[in-house]
């Protein structure tokens, strides 16, 4: 049944309202918190360590940036009025994202995520603290994979049980399913890329689009818009906008992975330490002269334990010397400009309202700059 609560009226304000985006984010967060607590009460409570596990999961999902749900809701709002049910439906995208991160971090053996130890690391510490037999690392990894599975299931329940009418949901499922398979296959392709030779920039961009860009911006926008019954023209604009902004988002991620600074202002160079073949590193390799290219190849290929840690400062200088950073900034800029032009065009053509357009413009810049 499609019942809009009293909130619909109370919250009814245009996206141009300065507090709109913050309000959407807060409401998504509250839905996600509520889902995790409720599902844990329902399913996890009888298990040993249930409070600890539920706490870890709730903390993890609570610390997201809520980009995917925001784009999902913007897609909806591009074609339909405010709807608490639609907002609840897209809030499931945060659980889908949690699924992806929980399992990716196990596969990549990452130690930190969202400023805290990764979930598998937290579970391993708990196991160790409880003095259990068996391998804490193994327990942590298996536990995080299973929590990821639960998030994948609960994500879909959030959408199905959102209160949106069945006919509305029917328009969303094919896109939702496509997105989920694309996500898992993208991660699989990523394992293959890491496992082999230095990929070409085209290959990196392809994985980047499928694994991250698409599902951060494009697919959520299309999902929301499709459920709202958007016209093919509007869907096409949002799809193209999503591709551009998603690529800009991921390329910015790659710049930050080499030149980024953490909250204390210290540069991190995480991607270098992990020898990741990101768009920045691969571009640098393609632009480099023979000697710098040799140094970058050594960086990427030396996956042996015996190679010791990467000299992050030297690698950063080598990359900078190729002009790859400047070139990547240009590519990011081109994509943002393209996205903004698309939005302006759609407003001029009368297929997109100025209120939603304003938030799409702000989000394009935010994703490309990552100021907040």
Token code pair at residue 187: 């991660």
List C-alpha distances in Å: 345 to 292, 349, 367: 43, 6, 20
Give first-to-last CA distance, the chain, whole Å. 38
Residue 111 in contact with a copy of itself, rule: CB under 8 A: no
Residue 127 in contact with a copy of itself, rule: CB under 8 A: yes
List C-alpha distances in Å: 30 to 156, 303, 340: 17, 42, 31
364: nearest Cα among 339, 341, 344: 339
* Pairwise CA distance, residues 115 & 120, whole Å: 14
316: nearest Cα among 257, 236, 235: 257
At residue 117, what are phi and psi to the nearest 5 degrees? -60, 145
Residue 185 in contact with a copy of itself, rule: CB under 8 A: yes
* Pairwise CA distance, residues 370 & 250, whole Å: 11
Please select the residue that binds a copy of itself; options are 2, 22, 26, 47, rule is CB under 8 A: 47
Please select the residue that binds a copy of itself; options are 134, 289, 309, 350, rule is CB under 8 A: 134
Please select the residue that binds a copy of itself; options are 133, 264, 306, 372, rule is CB under 8 A: 133
Name the segment binding a copy of itself (CB under 8 A); options: 126-134, 213-221, 252-260, 330-338: 126-134
Residue 49 CB coordination number (10 Å): 16
Residue 10 in contact with a copy of itself, rule: CB under 8 A: no
Q: Is the dihedral of CA 72, 77, 79, 82 positive or negative?
A: positive
Please select the residue that binds a copy of itself; options are 8, 44, 58, 358, rule is CB under 8 A: 44
Q: Residue 48: CB partners within 8 Å, gap ≥ 6?
A: none
Tokens 């405010």, residue? 82
Please select the residue that binds a copy of itself; options are 143, 242, 246, 269, rule is CB under 8 A: 143
Name the segment binding a copy of itself (CB under 8 A); options: 4-12, 40-48, 66-74, 316-324: 40-48
Residue 2 in contact with a copy of itself, rule: CB under 8 A: no
Q: Please tell me whether residue 352 adopts helix, strand or coil conformation.
A: coil
Please select the residue that binds a copy of itself; options are 25, 43, 65, 370, rule is CB under 8 A: 43
Residue 110 in contact with a copy of itself, rule: CB under 8 A: no
Residue 307 in contact with a copy of itself, rule: CB under 8 A: no
Residue 306 in contact with a copy of itself, rule: CB under 8 A: no
Binding site for a copy of itself (CB under 8 A): 39, 42-44, 47-49, 53, 99, 103, 106-107, 127, 130, 132-134, 138-139, 142-143, 145-147, 149-150, 152-154, 156-157, 160, 166, 170, 173, 177, 180-182, 184-185, 187-189, 191-192, 194-196, 301, 303
């Amino acid at each position: 049944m499609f019942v809009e609560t009293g909130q619909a009226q109370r919250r009814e304000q245009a996206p141009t309202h300065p507090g709109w985006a913050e309000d959407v984010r807060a409401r998504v967060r509250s839905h996600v918190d509520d889902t995790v607590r409720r599902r844990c009460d329902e399913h996890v409570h009888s298990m040993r360590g249930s409070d600890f596990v539920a706490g870890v999961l709730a903390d993890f999902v609570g610390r997201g940036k809520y980009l995917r749900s925001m784009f999902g809701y913007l897609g909806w709002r591009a074609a339909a009025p405010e709807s608490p049910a639609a907002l609840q439906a897209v809030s499931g995208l945060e659980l889908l994202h949690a699924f992806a991160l929980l399992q990716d971090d196990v596969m990549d053996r990452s130690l930190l995520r969202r400023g805290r130890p990764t979930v598998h690391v937290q579970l391993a510490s708990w196991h160790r603290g409880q003095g259990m037999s068996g391998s804490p690392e193994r327990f942590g990894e298996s536990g995080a994979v299973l929590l990821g599975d639960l998030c994948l299931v609960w994500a879909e329940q959030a959408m199905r049980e959102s209160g949106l009418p069945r006919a509305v949901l029917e328009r969303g499922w094919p896109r939702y399913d496509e997105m989920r398979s694309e996500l898992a296959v993208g991660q699989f392709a990523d394992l293959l890329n890491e496992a082999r030779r230095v990929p070409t920039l085209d290959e990196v961009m392809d994985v980047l689009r499928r694994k991250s860009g698409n599902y951060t911006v494009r697919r959520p926008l299309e999902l929301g818009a499709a459920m709202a019954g958007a016209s093919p023209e509007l869907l096409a604009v949002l799809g193209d906008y999503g591709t551009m902004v998603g690529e800009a988002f991921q390329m910015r991620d790659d710049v930050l992975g080499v030149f980024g600074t953490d909250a204390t202002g210290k540069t991190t160079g995480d991607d270098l330490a992990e020898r990741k073949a990101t768009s920045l590193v691969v571009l640098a390799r393609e632009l480099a002269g023979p000697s710098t290219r040799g140094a970058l190849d050594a960086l990427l290929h030396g996956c042996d334990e015996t190679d010791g840690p990467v000299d992050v400062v030297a690698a950063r200088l080598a990359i900078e010397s190729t002009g790859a950073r400047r070139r990547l900034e240009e590519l990011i800029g081109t994509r943002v400009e393209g996205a903004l032009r698309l939005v302006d065009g759609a407003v001029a053509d009368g297929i997109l309202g100025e209120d939603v357009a304003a938030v799409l413009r702000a989000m394009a810049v935010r994703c490309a700059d990552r100021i907040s």
